[in-house]
């Protein structure tokens, strides 16, 4: 599945705010992908896009980890480590700002990250959050 396809309910993690944040992440990834599609090699544009994505991801990670902790999700620390690894990878990309192939690398990394992290890893806590929400009703 391509990252720019309509995702709908199939990517819901069972928490409205997290779902909205995932949608925003997807929008930012699409914006960054536009740099690759247009062949923009402006270092400043690349840096701005990657920093915007990185900054929003950090906000999302903190929120998501708090939701998981508050809900008693048993694998929250393992999930937080995935967030740390994302941060390390983004720092590597930022260090290569201005490189000729940065737009391509950025698009590949962000697309793969969204598909592997949000569509696979985040789905692992979906049933936990749904059960937690059902218990609160």
What pTM was computed for the model? 0.84
User: In angstroms, rounded to a whole number, what is the distance separating the alpha carbons of residues 64 and 122?
Assistant: 10
Helix axes 76-95, 43-70, angle to 10 degrees: 170
- Homologous superfamily (CATH) for 15-136: Hemerythrin-like (1.20.120.50)
- Cα(14)–Cα(73) distance, integer angstroms: 13
The span from the CA of 98 to the CA of 105, in Å, is 12
pLDDT of residue 22: 94
Which residues make Cβ contacts (< 8 Å) with residue 113, sequence separation at least 6?
Answer: 86, 89
Q: Helix 102-113 crosses helix 16-38 at what angle (to 10 degrees)?
A: 160
pLDDT at 5: 44
List average pLDDT for each run of 10 residues in the chain, which is 137 residues long: 42 92 92 69 76 94 97 97 95 80 82 92 95 76
Question: What does the domain layout of the chain look like in residue ranges?
Answer: 15-136
Average pLDDT, the chain: 84
Residue with tokens 């990185």, as numbered in its chain: 54
Candidates 69, 68, 86; CA nearest to 122 is 68
- Quick one: 19 exposed, middle or buried, by C-beta within 10 A (0-12, 13-18, 19+)? middle
């Amino acid at each position: 599945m391509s990252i720019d396809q309509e995702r709908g309910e199939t990517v819901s993690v069972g928490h409205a705010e997290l779902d909205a944040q995932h949608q925003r992440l997807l929008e930012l990834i699409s914006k960054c992908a536009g740099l690759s599609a247009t062949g923009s090699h402006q270092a400043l544009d690349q840096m701005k896009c990657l920093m915007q994505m990185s900054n929003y991801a950090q906000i999302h990670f903190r929120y998501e980890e708090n939701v998981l902790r508050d809900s008693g999700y048993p694998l929250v620390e393992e999930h937080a480590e995935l967030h740390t690894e994302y941060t390390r990878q983004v720092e590597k990309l930022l260090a290569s700002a201005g490189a000729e192939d940065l737009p391509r690398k950025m698009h590949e990394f962000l697309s793969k990250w969204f598909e592997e992290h949000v569509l696979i890893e985040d789905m692992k806590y979906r049933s936990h959050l749904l059960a937690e929400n059902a218990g609160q009703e």
